Amino acid sequence: MSASFFDLRGKTAIVTGSNTGLGQGMALGLAAAGCNIVAVNRRAPEETRRRVEELGTGFLAVDADLASTAPIDDILAQAEARFGGADILVNNAGIIRRADSLEFTEQDWDEVLDVNLKSLFFLSQAFARHCIDGSRRGKIINIASMLSFQGGIRVPSYTASKSGVLGLTRLMANEWASRGINVNAIAPGYMATNNTEALRHDPERSREILGRIPAGRWGDPEDLAGAAVFLASSASDYVHGHTLAVDGGWLAR
C-alpha cells in the first residue's frame, strides 16, 4: 500500500464541533494530510484556524448551531462557494446531559437527541445528495462512543443517541455504498475532553475507568487523527458500515 492512499490534498472536509477536543484533533489530522477544513461550530474556532493554516491548507469557519437542522443547507452552500464542495463529512458535534434516569427531563432528552442524532442524519443526507448530484465520491465519518456498545449510567439520552449513531452508520452504508459514499464511524474511548471533565475530576470514577483501560491512560484528541485520516482516505474505499473503536483497549477488557 502506497502512502499516497492517505494523501488528502485537494480534498475538503466538513468537521462539526471542531473548535476544541476531539473535533479539533481530527480536523488537525485531516489538515496534516493535506485536506481543507470547513469548521462548523457555535463559537469561533480561532485556535483550530491558526493551527490548520499553519499546516498550509485552506480553512473556512461556519457559524452554526446544530441544535436544529436549519443551518444545514447553508453549511453545504458555504463549502461549495469556498472550495467547490466537500468530499468528507465528520459528524462530531454532540452534547451530553447527566442525571439519574428516574430524574431525567424531557428537555434534556430532546436537546441531546436533536444534536447527536437528528442533525447528524439530516446533515449526512444533505451531504450525500451533494455527492451524488456532483458525481463525486464521499466519505462520512460519524462519531459514536463506547456507549454505542454499552449502557453506561446517568446518561440515558446520550446512550440512546450514540447507540443510534452506530445503527444509522450501518443503515446509511447499506443504502449509499453503491452510490460511491463510504459511511463509517469512530467510537472514541474515554478521552480527556470537556465532556469527560466531571468523570476525570471524580476520583472514584476516574480510578474505575483507568483500571479498565489496558493502555493505562485517558485518550487524547490526537489519538483520533489517524483513524479519521484512514476513514477519509482512499485506503478505506472498501470499508463500509464499520464502527472503529479507538479506546485504548477498553472493549477488549
Q: Could you list the active site residues? A: 158
Other CB atoms within a 10 A radius of the CB of residue 186 amount to: 25
Q: Which three cell numbers stand for residue 247?
A: 479506546
CA–CA distance, 127 with 73 (Å, rounded to integer): 9
Give the DSSP H or E segment for 184: strand 181-188
CA–CA distance, 191 with 228 (Å, rounded to integer): 15
DSSP 248: T
Other CB atoms within a 10 A radius of the CB of residue 102 amount to: 5
Alpha helices in 33-105 (DSSP H): 46-54, 72-83
